[in-house]
Structure 1
Amino acid sequence: MAASGGVGALIGGEKAAVAQKKESIPPYVRAMSGSLGGIVEACCLQPIDVIKTRLQLDRTGAYRGIFDCGRKVVQTEGVRALWKGLTPFATHLTLKYALRMGTNALLQSAFKDSTGELSSRDRIMAGFGAGVVEALVIVTPFEARPSPDDKHLWTFVLRDLAAFLLGFGCGIAIPANVVKIRLQQQRGLSPELLKYKGPIHCARTIIREEGIFGLWAGALPTVIRNGTNQAAMFTAKNAFDVVLWKKREGDGKVLQPWQSMISGFLAGTCGPICTGPFDVVKTRLMAQSRSGGEVKYRGMFHAIRTINAEEGLLALWKGLLPRLMRIPPGQAIMWAVADQITGFYERSYLQNAPL
């Protein structure tokens, strides 16, 4: 009797441990929520991105600040000029957020322990990894293999498929950003005087004049900037959700949009300050044409030294204010959309979500 009782207790303990394991939102749901949030963000905040790019490319002091820059753009080129590069920007954000959210979910799943818990260190590493993958062309599926006794094999198939599709999409992110910056730096109203007539024409011209690798200019600073940004953003967003709203993944609690916006806004403030130099260098490298032979900046470190020597140390943080005006509000908008989608999934499909 005692033996059977001990076996029963052991089995009961194993069942309890399995029951306590937290369910996770699948990566494809995270990816979809990020894509939809990116579309809304792009339409709302494109003018700020145009102004940021113009300020970062200004070497002569033509603009006295963000408002002066915006006013001059409207006066000389019309209001529609504030939405220059919207198509590649929206494409870029849609793919970027899908990749970022999906990859972060994949890495978090890989780093979680047997009870579904994720340490602070692993959360930071998952965010950094998502940022790095976001910035590069990755077409290899994430290797997540189930244990022999795992009954939910379909979740691993979906994870591999999501990783492959998201990684393939990342191959468009950096080229789309290069095209966006080339279009944004053009000044003038007459289309016939502009070198690039549109996104497709711009990409074709770059490939013809600079080669296919011209579309991946500035990849290294983009990788460093994105990795640091996302490590800070995902960690901070989770911390603010827990501290401010007592919200944890899988608890079934759906944040109100205004709550998501506050958490997202606060989480989006740290990255721009830390990664300002990498963003300026990325923009300069992406903007310079290699069709003329000799280029001003030969790489990331050469660009940092040159900008510091010619324009001063603070020039490495050019465009910081418009970045702070764009990124935190952008994160607020994106998370307001994404949290509603993932919150609905938690309430509808996760076993431990309350009715």
Structure 2
Amino acid sequence: MAEAKKKDAHSHVSPALKGFAGSIGGVAEACCLQPMDVIKTRIQLDKTGKYKGIIQTGSTIYHEEGLKSLWKGLTPFATHLTLKYALRMGSNSMYQSALRGPDGKLTDGKRMLAGFLAGITEALIIVTPFEVVKIRLQQQKGTSKETFKYKGPIHCAMTVLREEGIRGMWSGATPTIMRNGTNQMCLFWAKNNVDTLLWDKHEGDGRILTPVQSMTSGFLAALLGPIATGPFDVAKTRLMAQTKTSGGVRYTGFFDALVRIPREEGIRAMWKGLLPRLLRIPPGQAIVWAVSDQITGYFEQQSMEAAGQLPAKV
């Protein structure tokens, strides 16, 4: 009976609600951390040594292009994160439900597989086309919009479609799949284990972590992914930034980029932008989990009280 109740507890929060909770956190993350993403993109695209580090890059962008330039690509970035987290949290919940054993338990291996599948899903449906637009906007330098090739997110997407076809919107899809699949595999596994290790919080137990606890768990869980996926992210950025109308493409594909970048620029180039990624992704996940844990925890608790699995609050 106890195992049956535990299995039922996992269904108290629907995938749709988990997706909604994640998307709300995504909006907050985008607004707070967009400058770090712009800095990361500029560093990864720099082949001349103009940008020396996070502070120098941010200062250079600010002095040469103005403060607003640090939020270049915010609209596609915020929209992208809202949809991405909705799909990530919702699809991960569905994959976990499908992979649970008869007793409702989920092994670490299956939890990692669910996260990997969720990462692939978001990469193909949401992440790749939005990041193509974001990166094309972010790589434009200067303050005069009249000189920009892309005037905004919609104009950028239409230009890419017109000049490069539908495949242009999925440039860098392979490294994006590898990056996001590996990231989410690490993230969901680590978040569950950190919750258990630090706070003795177990999935489906009806407890709601405090925002500080959720932020701590989300931050720590998100540290592993950027380190493991640095080469995928650099290759993805380079592939997405190149256009077929700019005198030919430099990299013919994902594996060509993985070989040529370290050969031409050294192995350390495969982790370009790692520090700004670490300054952006873990804090971003801290924000997202602080929001989503509160929303999902509340509804899980309400549902379990209604089902008699928790005593009702007076």
TM-score normalised by structure 1 residue count: 0.84
Amino acid at match of 2:221: A
Give unmatched runs, 5+ long, in structure 1. Answer: 1-14, 137-169
Q: For residues 1-355 of structure 1, what are the structure 2 equivalents within 5 Å?
A: 18-24=4-10, 25-136=13-124, 170=125, 172-292=126-246, 294-350=248-304, 351=307, 352-355=309-312
C-alpha separation in 2, matches of 1:267 and 1:20? 24
> Following the alignment from structure 2 to structure 1, what is the Cα–Cα distance between the partners of residues 310 and 245?
57
Aligned-pair CA distance for 1:294: 2.3
Structure-2 residue corresponding to 1:159 = none
Q: Deviations over 1:152-191 (max 9, x none)?
A: xxxxxxxxxxxxxxxxxx2x43111100000000000111
Partner letter of residue 23 of structure 1?
Answer: A
Give the residue type in structure 1 aligned to 2:185: A
8 Å CA contact 1:252–1:354 kept in 2: the answer is no
Q: What is the distance in 2 between the residues matched to 1:56 and 1:222? A: 15
Q: Output one character per residue of 1:316-352: Cα deviation in whole Å (capped at 9) or x when no partner.
A: 0000000000000000000000000001111111332
323 and 23 in structure 1: CA distance in 2 versus 1, 3 angstrom threshold: same
Instruction: State the partner residue of 1:4.
Output: none
- Note the C-alpha offset of 1:291: 1.9
- Identical aligned residues as a percent: 60
Please give the alpha-carbon distance, in whole angstroms, between the structure 2 residues aligned to 1:35 and 1:20. 27
Contact 1:22/1:117 (8 A) holds in 2: no
SS in 2 for 1:344: helix
List alignment gaps of at least 5 residues for structure 2.
Answer: none
Give the counterpart letter for 1:113 in structure 2. Answer: G
CA contact (8 A) 1:73 1:81 kept: yes
C-alpha contact 1:23 1:116 (8 A) present in aligned 2: no
1:153 is matched with: none
Counterpart code for 1:116: G
Q: Secondary structure at the match of 2:207?
A: coil
Q: Tell me by how many angstroms 1:213 deviates.
A: 1.0
Structure 1 stretch displaced more, 342-351 or 69-78: 342-351
Give a deviation string over 1:31-60, Cα, whole Å, max 9, x none.
011110100100000000000000000000
Letter in 1 for 2:282: P
In structure 2, what is the Cα distance between the partners aligned to 1:258 and 1:354? 25
Higher mean C-alpha displacement, 254-263 vs 127-136: 127-136
State the partner residue of 1:146: none
CA shift at 1:18, angstroms?
A: 3.5
Please list the CA deviations of residues 254-303 of structure 1 after superposition, one character each: whole Å capped at 9, or x if unmatched.
Answer: 10000000000000000011100000000000000112462100001101
Matched pairs, number: 307
Whichever residue aligns with residue 316 of structure 1, its letter is M
Distance, in Å, in 2 between the alignment partners of 1:42 and 1:16 is: 41
The structure-2 alpha-carbon separation of the partners of 1:292 and 1:110, relative to structure 1 and needing over 3 Å to count, comes to same
For residues 326 and 272 of structure 1, what CA distance do their matches in structure 2 show? 10
Distance across 2 between alignment mates of 1:20 and 1:284: 46
Tell me, in whole angstroms, the C-alpha distance in 2 between the residues paired with 1:323 and 1:35.
20
Q: Indicate if the aligned counterparts of 2:34 and 2:71 stay in contact, CA closer than 8 A.
A: yes
1:238 aligned partner, one-letter code:
N
1:22 Cα deviation from its structure 2 partner: 3.7
CA distance in 2, matches of 1:64, 1:315: 13
Rounded Cα–Cα distance in structure 2 between residues aligned with 1:57 and 1:278: 14
CA RMSD, aligned part only?
A: 1.2
Max Rg structure: 1
Task: Say if 2:9 and 2:205, in contact at 8 Å, map to a contact too.
Answer: no
